[in-house]
Homo-oligomer: A and B are copies of this chain.
Amino acid sequence: MPQIDAERFLKDLNELRQIGRYKTGVHRPTYSPEDMESRRWLMERMAEIGLEPSIDGIGNVYGRHRGPGPHLLAGSHIESQNQAGWLDGALGVMAALALARAGLPVDVAAFADEEGHFEGGFLGSKSIIGALPEEEIDRSRSRNDGTPLREALAAAGLAGKPRMQLEPGRHKGFFEMHIEQGTQLERAGLRAGVVTGIVAIWQWRITIEGMQDHAGGTTMAERRDAGLTAVRLLAMIDQEMPKACGERSTWTTGRIAVEPGAPSIIPGRADILFQFRDIEVATLDRMEACLRACVQESNRRERCTATLANVSKSLPAPCDTAMMAALDAAAERNAPGLWQRMPSGAGHDAQYIARVMPVSMLFTPSIGGISHHWAEDTKEEDLALCCQILADAAEQFLKG
């Protein structure tokens, strides 16, 4: 079994944490000076290990293994959300480095803008599989300040550089280690999570049109209260969705807003952002049918019209069976009884890489489930343990 240099792995993580440091976390928005500094730092680390480092026209940093195959791909991203945690994507990239350092035939990748500082998001993993057309780069702007992506690439010194593509057939699979963005492992007292797949997110906007009126002068019988229709519709969805969903499905109303929102005015309009997530398309289809039936029933009953619009539908990315089996075995060997299988509710680079090769993910526990916040953290012994599990699984999967 390969032996991870846990001390060096934690030292790498802590060195990278100094670049764009913010409290106990980091602030490294994509293509910022701090982000570019971290990419140069990463290429130096790759070169030290003997990998062949490069950076491409979208900012992907790639460390190519110089030896013979079969190869694995491992990594994640190193830019951060604004004022966010030190682990997140950085953890997956440093773990990949640790695997290469331990002698495994691993190409290490840090994909640009998984965090979506620019419209579209996942720029690097989309680009490297050929799913990021030039027109999307032309159109995209910073969500922070509106800077066109082209301008940001030029300012970062990346304009005109070619964009690399994954070499077909080179990799047997992709491993991504990540901190759990939740508390399932912590609550269950577990130290590792073998990810079964990355859920798809289907996002919706529901708009309800009523009639804005004076709350004193308008009788209950006369009203067309868009807020009340929203409440009844959302209560119906709350009742019906459990009949359609799967065991691990989630659904969330992230936004409810009524206009104008004043105490004595009957709302004339309501705006709802709704989404559901699952790993099975059949389940997602059932949930969509349930949502559509609720909206239809609302429009049959109510005096305000609800309009349902799909905002986006991502594809679920199931993890590879053989890779999961290798992770299961490695987890059981290193942490007997202290791991579980679980889906990833959040999106990751692996979901795009899954379109071109088998993928798998390993979750470390998150202290208090804090994510996308500078206080994000995992115990050092859990980080080291999971990195060793990843290395063992990688070796076993290569042999299998």
Contact = CB atoms under 8 A, between A and B. Distances in A.
A183 interface: yes
Task: Determine which residue in A184, A249, A251, A254 has the highest number of CB atoms from chain B within 10 A of its CB, and name it.
Answer: A254
How many copies of the shown chain assemble into the complex?
A: 2
A385 B187 CA distance: 74
Given A215-B250, A220-B250, A231-B238, A258 B256 contact: yes
Contact of A256 (B183, B213, B216, B227): B227
A218 interface: yes
Nearest to A230: B256
Interface stretch (A30-38, A69-77, A320-328, A341-349): A341-349
B219 A181 contact: no
A103 B46 CA distance: 100
Interface in A371-390: 371-372
A171 interface: no
A265 B249 CA distance: 15
A360 interface: no
A266 interface: yes
A203 B215 CA distance: 12
A153 B33 CA distance: 55
A293 to B, nearest CB: 18
Interface of A: 180-184, 187, 199, 201, 203, 213-220, 222, 225, 227-228, 230-232, 234-235, 238, 248-258, 261-267, 273, 275, 277, 311, 344-347, 369, 371-372
Given A228-B253, A254-B261, A256-B261, 10 more contacts: A201-B216, A216-B345, A220-B251, A227-B253, A228-B234, A231-B253, A254-B263, A254-B267, A255-B261, A261-B273
18 contacts: A181-B214, A181-B216, A182-B214, A182-B216, A203-B263, A213-B369, A216-B345, A216-B347, A218-B345, A227-B254, A231-B234, A235-B235, A252-B266, A254-B267, A255-B261, A255-B262, A257-B257, A264-B275
